[in-house]
Structure 1
Amino acid sequence: MIYSLLLRRRSWSPAAWLLALAAILLCSPSWAQIQLRSSLTTAGAAGPVVTTPRARVELVAQAPDGVAPGKPLWLGLAVAHQPGWHTYWKNPGDSGLPTQLQWQLPAGLSAGEIDWPVPEGIRVGPLLNYGYEGRLLLPVPITVAPDFQAPAGDALTIRLHASWLICRVECIPEEGDFELQLPVRSATATQADAFAAAQARRPTDIAGQSTASVQGERLQLRIAGLPAQLQGQPLTLYPEAPEVLQHAAIEGSDWKQAWDGAVWTADWPLSTMRGETPAQLPVVLTLAKPSADGTGPAAWRAVATVQGRWDSVPVASVSPALAAALAANAANAQPTAAAPAASSASLWFALLGGLLGGLILNLMPCVFPVLAIKIVGFSRHGQDQRAQRLSGLAYGAGVVLSFLALGGLLLALRAAGQQLGWGFQLQSPGLVAAMAALFTLLGLNLTGMFEFGQMLPSRWANAHARHPVGEAFLSGVLAVAIASPCTAPFMGASLGLAIDMPAAQALTVFAALGIGMALPFVLASWIPALVRWLPRPGAWMVTFRRAMAFPMFATVAWLVWVLGQQSGVDGAGALLLLLVVLSALVWAFTLGGKTRWLLGGFLLLLALWLGSAFGPHITRAAPASGAAPTASADGWQPWTTGRVEELTAAGTPVFVDFTAAWCVTCQVNKHTTLNRDDVRAAFAERGVTLLRADWTRRDPAITAALTALGRSGVPVYVLYAPGKPPLVMTELLSPSDVLASLKTL
């Protein structure tokens, strides 16, 4: 109904009920998740194995005596990493996350904690992580209740939802749903060797009075009870508690170890990210040089009593250098360093910026199709000035209320702890696919393939004639939906300020954005002299209407490309196939007689089957490439947390492009400015490292970095120079802007 101001009035067909059902199913943000919860499984139903491009993960069991009270029973997650990839121990070290298991067990069974095998140190640049490469089994002991009653069947259904972070240099969160049929009365021991190997890698608990004494910024460990054959040999220590010791010191000269008789001692620097002092500190020790024959225990575990207390260090949200730079910006009254409690001056600045940003938003590429439709709408009204004014006000109300709704949702989600920013809705592949389906329907309608009046019940047929104000209101809603991925000059700073304001003040900023965007259309509807240049209604409107189908299809092409960036080429291909079937379904219902019902019904069933079969390809994360995320052919490197600080500390200037595939303004800036030869030559001449922070899919780290810069959406362009505050550039970038900023280095 959005564009029915342009449509001819015709009779309506009962076939609309089937078409409406198909449109609802295909346009729903959750349609692609009907069959599978996990986007990583390779089969249509949950099973014991999940395969990703980086690992093969399997739910396994060890029950040599079946399932009965008092009998040994183990479950485990077996991980076969691809070469170069690793997952993490219970304490991941300087970065990473441990594997998480959520069990759904039959009545009478309860799962214990993961019996973690001893990890290995994994060096990534200046960081030291603890984790696993190659083949790994994470065993979990299962307790069978004394009153356990075996079921009538021969097997128990074991279900597990597991999530893990797998890294090479880049890190990818993965998850999977597993299901295993465990025989009750017969033995399960096909994985006996794997469980035995995991047991051999389990640290052996040792007795003895071990202590950890706090000495200023250091911790002195005394571990007693170690086997006599270890005395005099160097050991490697793995602390189970995160953020207590400086992990990377294990391979440096900032720590010392020695033997005091039978007691192993170590002097270790405390972490700069340490929290409160615990009462006890569990540690795992291994031989720094394992024995050649590999006999004996692999590791030993001790629990040291902590003596004394250290001063906890609050964790800053940004680096000290960036915090100082933002403070300097605040002192200079820059909008990017606004305080959380908004003063009246900052509120007025945000309102003015929002108004100007909304005005300029009408010039953004993503809003052009709606602008064209609005122009034709003026011609449709002709000389009916009252109707034209009412439509203008209704359109303005739709724009403003939509901005308020998006702003309210964003603020509510952030208050609930979600790291989100402007344009967050297009970080969902399901919503991107739904928008592509909607724009396909609109494009087909504008070409004249079908009329909505033929597909809806007769009492809806003349709704656009009876309620033109409602039509204009919905047009405003659609305009905001299309414009939401974009930010305009002044808009980014205003949104960044609004995020940290009280809710009432923040919503007034979003309202100002809406007013700015709606203002040109509302003024034109109330001042006829502004639109007298438009030709009178006539045959040209049919031609213009069909021409406007191509911006709709161009939007579909862009959305498919966005989905390809989010979910990979398989996701984009699945969406294209579904759009073809949707188009055929629409065509089928334009036919006459029984053909429309037979062919339409078949295509509807085909669309539903394809949605359930290929939906997981649309919603899953794009597979990582086989190469490490080093500099690309055009010189850009992926942004990572702490990378900017590391480079600037070494004296290297950095330019960061905060971008997203769904941000049209980002893509325009990339092709008109950042990819120009003279701009790239200027970067190279001044030794600037180029980092790209891709926000296409939700990334809390990038959201936090944007918030620290006083922004809540993309594009954002920042130049970091050693010893200087970060320079945040305008959202609509030009080569002269970049070249002028580089002259300040």
Structure 2
Amino acid sequence: MLRFARIGAACVLAALAGAAPLAARAAATDWTGDQRAAVRIVTATDSVHGDTLDAGVEFRYPAGWHGYWRTPGDAGIAPIFNWSASQNVAGTTVSWPAPSRLVIAGLQNSVYTGDFILPVKIRLAHPDQPTHLALTIDYATCSNVCVPEHAELSLTLPAGTGTGAASAEAAAIAAAARSVPATAAQAGISVVRNDLEPTKTGEHLRVELRSAGAAFQSPDLFVEGAGAGLPAAPRVQLSDQGHRAQLDVDLPRPDPQATVHAPLQLTVVDGARAATFAGPSASTPPGGTQNIALILALALLGGLVLNFMPCVLPVLSIKVFSLVKSAGAERAAARRVALATASGIVVSFLLLAAALSALKLAGATLGWGIQFQQPWFLAGMAVMTTLFAASFFDWLPIGLPQVFARFGAGNAQRAPLVEAFVSGMLATLLATPCSAPFVGTVVGFALARNPIDIVAVLAALGIGMALPFIVLAVVPALARWLPRPGAWMVRLRQVMGLLLLGTSIWLLASLLKVAGATIAAIVAVMLTGLLGLRGFVSAAQGARANRWSGIATAVLAVGTIALASVPVSIAPARTDKPGEWQAFDPNAIAPLVASGKTVLVDVTASWCLTCKVNELAVLDTAPVRSRLASNNVVRMRADWSRYNPQIAGYVQSFGRFGIPLDVVYGPRQPQGHLLPELLQTATLFQALDGASNDGGGTPRTRGATDGT
């Protein structure tokens, strides 16, 4: 018996010794191929634990041979994956490391050479259960000739009892994942300009980039979505000691038969650094080329729509009272008041255009409404709305300085025009914190182009917003349809003053988020003192009081703005609903999507009223909250109340320069699906369905391949 026991023990040890090499090889299949190319499956662990599995498809090409990227170029084919014979696999997502450019006889190709891995995120149907991977792959290997290759690979992994031991290939898979192009913000790159211009033979793409870290060395730009093939390498101009790069690419004319063009997909590769971001859409207005006249027409329409956006609610009192006053004036006076209000609106847009053009020439980060991130601007606007409220209470007469008294009509005629002009300017400044339908499109177009286009587009926006007053000036008889003036206007004026004080409170709430409680409290006290001063002077009605009140008012106003400009240190912004909305982390989006999650990113700000409307009307409603509470959905909220270059770069990566901005990511939308400025529940649900694995949507980009 002892002899048989010894023999049995020896057999067991031999079996274990023989099993050890097999266990070590369980993380990779054998190589399949020939002398021209070979392929195999590798996994990061030697067993299954959890609901996902990190794996890779590893290719090996000898010297002189190459394979192809997801967009191969003028020749070749991208690898085609079929995982359908796998067991316990719910879905797969393939990521693509940055390629290199290969030009043969003028043909542009994006290729891989040597030994490389395409990372694959495998989602399991049953977590912690044995999994069988079965892959059929068709690919090409090319040198002087191209040879199609076919391989069938299979690998079975047992269920793990712990986290699963790391395989010998885990480090290589992780390194391949790090070489997948990140977003522009993650790569430390800001997209300054990104637009298309028509040419005689097609379109011209110009991309201007700024690097916050290392200088650019020799950047290349891969353009996807510009028709068949791959556009040639860009013409590169480096400046600012290599921290700014201008890349120019000639593209073919877009298909005139196409009614919808998806945005171009741009990938910049500079050594070990690579980033992917959305480019402009190929346009097909009449003639098949982009037409500035169409943009200006959209700007006019967008300016008109801006009158009805929630952003304009704080200044609705000013605009309503301007119209009502026009009803009580004679035709000539009504025309003058309407024109003065329209002029104030247009002049404000021109001043904004001049400021944005100067900032662009200086290389600053541009954005629509980003002035609301500055404490001094919020305090200054609060001072203006408070003074206007005092004017509506008849505590502060508004007129031109005495130095201009000799110009124009008498003071009695001049004061209403000055008030109308200033109210138009104030309405514009308070209406710019949010984007709107058409406004986001035309502003994104303008800010990505030259100063002349910026001025032209913003002037058209101003004319569109002023259009009701322009119509009233051209046809002053329309004012007769408005209520006739009377004693009720005194009460209305006081009500409008209270509404303006409400606007001041809204601005103080925004200041609280931007500059902190101390600054907001000081500004609130000074505004209260300013309003009290005007009320006291109005009650006193003395010549002596009037002499010093103007100086005191100016000192309080300037002092309020100056105090708000004092730099303070405040705690970082946090999400308003802990446990539901996560803080914005662009680096976490890709891993979440790779694990099968659907991610909703909401970029908002305390000063963005349209954002608040989206929250109340859609995001905070019971059906949406229930849908977003799913374990498969991750909610991220980016608070742009204060300046944040990471959020600015993220917004601009979608060709937008303003908020609200909402994006849905998922396995079927790895590059993100951009939602309209004004959210609707049905639109949001459709985007969530199209992005998730359970939805029926199709990917908008080829950033990942799903083989299920």
TM-score range (shorter-chain normalised) is 0.5 to 0.7
Distance 1:459 1:574, change over 3 A: same
Name the counterpart of 2:100: none
Give how far 1:678 is off.
1.1
**Matched pairs, number:** 442
**Residue deviations 1:719-741 (CA, integer Å, cap 9, x gap):** 12223252222212232332332
2:550 counterpart of 1:622:
no
Distance 1:377 1:691, change over 3 A: same
Give how far 1:646 is off.
2.9
2:509 counterpart of 1:561:
yes
Contact 2:605/2:639 (<8 A) preserved: yes
Of 648, 673, 677 in structure 1, the residue corresponding to residue 622 of structure 2 is 677
2:280 counterpart of 1:338:
yes
Please show how residues 340-355 of structure 1 align to structure 2 within 5 Å.
344-345=289-290, 347-355=292-300
Contact 1:349/1:494 (<8 A) preserved: no
Distance 1:593 1:609, change over 3 A: same
Bigger RCO (CA 8 Å, 6+ sep): 1
Helix, strand or coil: the match of 1:685?
coil
Name the counterpart of 1:709: 654
2:358 counterpart of 1:412:
yes
**Residue deviations 1:6-56 (CA, integer Å, cap 9, x gap):** xxxxxxxxxxxxxxxxxxxxxxxxxxxxxxxxxxxxxxxxxxxxxxxxxxx
2:576 counterpart of 1:576:
no
2:440 counterpart of 1:492:
yes
Name the counterpart of 1:13: none
Distance 1:340 1:567, change over 3 A: farther
Give the distance between the partners of 2:433 and 2:402, measured in 1 at CA.
Answer: 31
Contact 1:397/1:473 (<8 A) preserved: yes
Distance 1:445 1:727, change over 3 A: same
Of 663, 674, 681 in structure 2, the residue corresponding to residue 728 of structure 1 is 674
Name the counterpart of 1:690: 635
Helix, strand or coil: the match of 2:572?
coil
Give the distance between the partners of 1:372 and 1:345, measured in 2 at CA.
Answer: 39
Helix, strand or coil: the match of 2:636?
strand
Name the counterpart of 2:303: 358
Helix, strand or coil: the match of 1:419?
coil
Give the distance between the partners of 1:379 and 1:605, measured in 2 at CA.
Answer: 30
Give how far 1:364 is off.
1.7
Contact 2:399/2:415 (<8 A) preserved: no
Please show how residues 61-210 of structure 1 align to structure 2 within 5 Å.
none
Helix, strand or coil: the match of 2:662?
strand
Unaligned runs of 5+ in 1: 1-214, 219-250, 257-267, 275-310
Name the counterpart of 1:475: 423
Of 439, 442, 448 in structure 1, the residue corresponding to residue 385 of structure 2 is 439
Name the counterpart of 2:82: none
Please show how residues 245-394 of structure 1 align to structure 2 within 5 Å.
314=219, 332-334=260-262, 337-338=279-280, 344-345=289-290, 347-368=292-313, 370-381=315-326, 382=328, 384-394=330-340
Give how far 1:587 is off.
3.4
Helix, strand or coil: the match of 1:418?
coil
Give the distance between the partners of 2:222 and 2:534, measured in 1 at CA.
Answer: 52
Name the counterpart of 1:424: 370
Give how far 1:535 is off.
2.1
Please show how residues 634-653 of structure 1 align to structure 2 within 5 Å.
635-653=580-598
Give how far 1:351 is off.
2.5
Of 679, 686, 698 in structure 2, the residue corresponding to residue 740 of structure 1 is 686
**Residue deviations 1:138-176 (CA, integer Å, cap 9, x gap):** xxxxxxxxxxxxxxxxxxxxxxxxxxxxxxxxxxxxxxx
Give the distance between the partners of 2:313 and 2:481, measured in 1 at CA.
Answer: 19
TM-score, scaled relative to structure 1 = 0.51
Of 508, 513, 531 in structure 1, the residue corresponding to residue 456 of structure 2 is 508
Name the counterpart of 1:403: 349
Contact 2:651/2:657 (<8 A) preserved: yes
Aligned residue type for 2:280: A
Give the distance between the partners of 2:280 and 2:439, measured in 1 at CA.
Answer: 15
TM-score, scaled relative to structure 2 = 0.54
Distance 1:379 1:558, change over 3 A: closer
2:478 counterpart of 1:533:
no
Contact 2:611/2:660 (<8 A) preserved: yes
Unaligned runs of 5+ in 2: 1-112, 117-165, 182-215, 231-250, 264-277, 693-708
Give how far 1:679 is off.
0.7
* Identical aligned residues as a percent: 34
Contact 2:382/2:504 (<8 A) preserved: yes
Helix, strand or coil: the match of 1:726?
strand
Give how far 1:645 is off.
2.4
411-420 or 427-436: bigger deviation: 411-420
Contact 1:588/1:600 (<8 A) preserved: no
Of 567, 591, 610 in structure 2, the residue corresponding to residue 665 of structure 1 is 610
Give how far 1:661 is off.
1.4
Aligned residue type for 2:302: G
Contact 1:639/1:656 (<8 A) preserved: yes
Give the distance between the partners of 1:630 and 1:398, measured in 2 at CA.
Answer: 38
2:456 counterpart of 1:520:
no
Helix, strand or coil: the match of 2:334?
helix
Contact 2:533/2:553 (<8 A) preserved: yes
Give how far 1:634 is off.
5.6
Distance 1:704 1:350, change over 3 A: farther
Give the distance between the partners of 1:425 and 1:466, measured in 2 at CA.
Answer: 31
Contact 2:261/2:281 (<8 A) preserved: no
Give the distance between the partners of 1:427 and 1:690, measured in 2 at CA.
Answer: 24
Name the counterpart of 2:495: 547
Of 387, 394, 409 in structure 2, the residue corresponding to residue 448 of structure 1 is 394
What is the aligned-residue RMSD (CA, Å)?
Answer: 4.5
